[in-house]
Structure formats: structure tokens, C-alpha cells
Amino acid sequence: MLVLDHIAVAGMSRQAATGLVQKSLGVAPLAQGKHPHFGTHNHLWGMGPDCYLESIAIDPEAPSPAYSRWFGLDWFSGPPQIVSWILATSDIKKTLAQLGPSFGEPVGLQRGKYSWDISVSASGKLPFGGFGPALIEWQPPAHPCQDLPDSGCRLLNLRVQHPQAGSMQLLLGDLLNDGRISFYEGCAHISAEIQTDHGVVILG
């Protein structure tokens, strides 16, 4: 089964992406990290025992990889926005075989005690024109939510709007088991409804 693992907000810089999230949630970032394999860096906010939010951008101090970066960051431009929703699976190879080649291939990564496989296409772009999900399989026992301080914020709803939303929902079908995710036909856009200490906010 697939459940939401985390949401990625990208910016032209990490400062820009982090600024949007911090302003929306009213909470400063609670952790940070680097991804040498893709030349990116991020900030993190814990949102409960099994979900978190990250701001991410190309790290200007990292060398450019000889392959495409994840989340379509090589093509990203404009103001910060949600660029990906990442679904957790217990068997990424099996899930990718069911969903098809547009979802990419698993790439194995490690940072400290965390090891995971995440789906990345050869172009780095996500399915459905960049609005479909990425897949992740964490190697137990470590998961970031175990160590992230709790921001006090909780995801209420992730709204995935796309001209092919029906096809996306049909493709994910019975694999997807997360009532927080909803699909709507329309212009491509992803937004998140989040409960914060100062009320419900819309990020996206």
C-alpha cells in the first residue's frame, strides 16, 4: 500500500523555499541536510509520526551531477511551490513495475543512519508532467520522523489538481491508501491544507 511520506517545496534557492514554508507554518525549520548524489540541500519540518515537509533547492556549493537531479529541479524556475508528493512503499521495485516506466527507476541513497530508495526518471522529471508522485522505500529501522522535532503542524489534505487527475487516480488505484490525498480535474497545481497553531493554512 502507498501512503504519503512527505511533501517537497522547491525554490530557486533553499532560502526562498524555506521562507515560504516558514511564513506559512509560522515555524522555523527544525533540521537541515545535503544530498551529495543530486547536489541539493534541504530544510525539514516534522508533521507527526509518519509525515514531514521539506524545502529543497539546488545547492550552489555542490558540484553538478552528470545526470538529472530529482524532482525536476534542473528545470525549476519561478516562485517557491510544491514540486512533489512522495509516497512510501514497502516494495519500490514491485510498485514501479505496476505503475510503469514514467515513474522512473529506484535510486539508492544514504545519509548518516538513513538509507532509502527513491524513484527518479532519466530526465529527473516526475510523471504526469511533473505533478505525479515519487515513490520512496525506507530501509528499516531508521526514518526521519523518528528524529525530527514535531512542528505541531498536521497535514489535513493534499489536493492534486491536474487535467488527467482521473487517470492518475485510476493508475494508483487500490495501491493508494491515504485519505488525506484528493484528486481534482483542472489546471495542474498541488496544494496542501495544513493545521497550524494559528489556524488552517493553504501551502501551494
Q: What is the pLDDT confidence band of residue 142, given thresholds at 50, 70 and 90?
A: confident
pLDDT value for 130: 96
- Over residues 152-161, mean pLDDT: 98
3-class SS string, the chain: CEEEEEEEEECCCHHHHHHHHHHHHCCCCCEEEEECCCCEEEEEEECCCCCEEEEEEECCCCCCCCCCCHHHHHHCCCCCEEEEEEEECCCHHHHHHHHCHHHCEEEEEEECCEEEEEEECCCCCCHHHHCCCEEEEECCCCCHHHCCCECCCEEEEEEEEECCHHHHHHHHHHHECCCCEEEEECCCEEEEEEEECCEEEEEC
pLDDT the model gives residue 67: 96
Taking the model in full, what pTM does it have? 0.96
Residue 39 is part of which domain span? 3-203
Residue 122 burial by Cβ neighbours in a 10 Å radius (0-12, 13-18, 19+): exposed
Radius of gyration, CA atoms only, the chain: 16
The total domain count for the chain is 1
Grid coordinates of 47 = 508533521
The enclosing domain of 182 has a CATH number of 3.10.180.10
Model pLDDT for residues 185-203, shown as the tens digit of each residue: 999 999 999 999 999 999 9
- Evaluate if residue 183 carries a pLDDT over 90: yes
Tell me the pLDDT tens digit for each residue of 74-128: 999 999 999 999 999 999 999 999 999 999 999 999 988 899 999 999 999 999 9
Q: What is the mean pLDDT of residues 125-135?
A: 97
pLDDT digits (tens, 9 = 90+) for 3-43: 999 999 999 999 999 999 999 999 999 999 999 999 999 99
Q: What's residue 120's pLDDT? A: 98
Question: What is the reported pLDDT for 204?
Answer: 85
